[in-house]
Amino acid sequence: MKEQIPNETCWGVDVASEHLDIARHGSQQVQRIGNDPKAIAKWLRSAPANSRLGLESTGSYHLQLARLAHERGITVYVLNPRDIKRYAQGLGQRGKTDRLDARVIARFIEREHEHLRAWQPPTQQQQELDDLLRERAALQKTYAALKQSVAKRPKPAAMLAKLLHEMKAALQDFERAIAQAVRELPQGDTAFGVITSIPGIGLLTGAALLRLFTRAPDASTDAIVALTGLDPRPMDSGTRRGVRRLSKRGDANTRRLLYNAGMAGAKTDTWRPIYERERAKGLSSTAALLVLARRLVRIAYSLFKSGQQFDRARVMT
C-alpha cells in the first residue's frame, strides 16, 4: 500500500553536485535522486504543492531544485549551512552523513519555518549579475594569492608573468560585464548612479548593493544591514558586557567589498571626520571602518528607495 503523504509536509534536502538526499519529517526513510531536471520533476510530482522544503545554500548546486520546487508552489527555504551544523550539534548528532543532514534539515524546517524567510527566485538579470560578481571574486582571490606567492621570487614570477597578465585582463573583462549586467536590470542605470554617488562606493560595491537591494526592495534598513552580515550581535555573558561580534551572515564577498568601501571612504573629506570620531571613542581601526561600512549601506539603501543623489550637506547635519 502506497504511503499517504500529509499536505503540509516538511522536507529536508542535502544537496550534492550529482545527487539529492531527500527526507520527510516524521519518516525514517531518505530517498536519493539525481540532481537533474528529469529526476527532480519526477520527485516533485509526488510532493504536495503546499508543503515546505529546506535545503542548504551550496553555491549553485541547489538552484535547480529550488526553482523547480518554487514553480510547483512549494515554499522553499535556502538555509545557511552554519545554522544547520549548529542545530545538529545542539541535537547531539554525533555523525555526519548526507542522509543524517537531510533529516536534520527536515526537522529544522518543521520546528523553525515560522521564523524563516521564504526563498524567492532571482530574475535572469539578477542571477547573471550574481554569477559575475561571484566568479570575479573567486578569480580575484586566486590572482592575489598567486601574485603574492611569487612577489619575492624572480624566477617563478617570470614564469607566471604571462598568466598573471591574462588574469588581470580577465578581471577587467569581468568588470565590464558587471557594468553591462547592471544596466540590464530594470532602472539599473539610474539606481546604480544613485548608489555610486556616495563617496567610497565604486563599481563592484555598487553592483553588489544593487543586487541586494533589488532582491529585498521592501526590507527594513536594519534587515538590509543584517543581510550583509555587518550587523553587530551582543555577546553579553556573566560579567562581560558590551561585547559585540558581527553576525557574518549573507554573502562574504559583499561584506568584503563594503569593508573596502569603508577604507576608501575614510580617506575622503566626507567620511574622514566620522571615521576619526569613532576612533576617538576608542574603537580599533577595523571596528571604526565597520561602523562606516554600515552607514554606507544604510545611506545607499535610503537613496535607492528615494531615487535621490547623495547630498553631503544632508548627511553631515
Q: Which of 144, 164, 184 is the last residue before a domain boundary?
A: 184
> Do residue 161 and residue 243 come from a single domain?
no
Query: Are the C-beta atoms of residues 230 and 258 closer than 8 Å to each other?
Result: yes
Q: Containing domain of residue 24, as a range?
A: 10-115
Residue 246 has a pLDDT of 84
Q: Give the mean pLDDT of the chain.
A: 91
Q: Which of 94, 115, 136 is the last residue before a domain boundary?
A: 115
The pTM of this model reads 0.85
Question: In 3-state terms, what secondary structure has residue 54?
Answer: strand
- When pLDDT is cut at 50, 70 and 90, the band that residue 241 belongs to is low
Domain count, the chain: 3
CA–CA separation, 202 and 129 (whole Å): 16
For cell 588581470, the residue is 168
Residue 316 has a pLDDT of 64
**How does pLDDT run across 199-232, given as a tens digit for each residue?**
999 999 999 999 999 998 899 999 999 999 998 8
User: Is residue 135 domain-resident?
Assistant: yes
CA–CA separation, 104 and 82 (whole Å): 13
> Do residue 26 and residue 59 come from a single domain?
yes
Q: Which helix (DSSP H) or strand (DSSP E) does residue 164 occupy?
A: helix 154-184
> Do residue 218 and residue 237 come from a single domain?
yes
Q: Which of 161, 184, 207 is the last residue before a domain boundary?
A: 184
> Do residue 192 and residue 309 come from a single domain?
yes
Query: Are the C-beta atoms of residues 10 and 106 closer than 8 Å to each other?
Result: yes
**How does pLDDT run across 101-143, given as a tens digit for each residue?**
999 999 999 999 999 989 999 999 999 999 999 999 999 999 9
- When pLDDT is cut at 50, 70 and 90, the band that residue 1 belongs to is very low
> Do residue 86 and residue 144 come from a single domain?
no
Q: Which residue has the higher pLDDT, 155 or 316?
A: 155
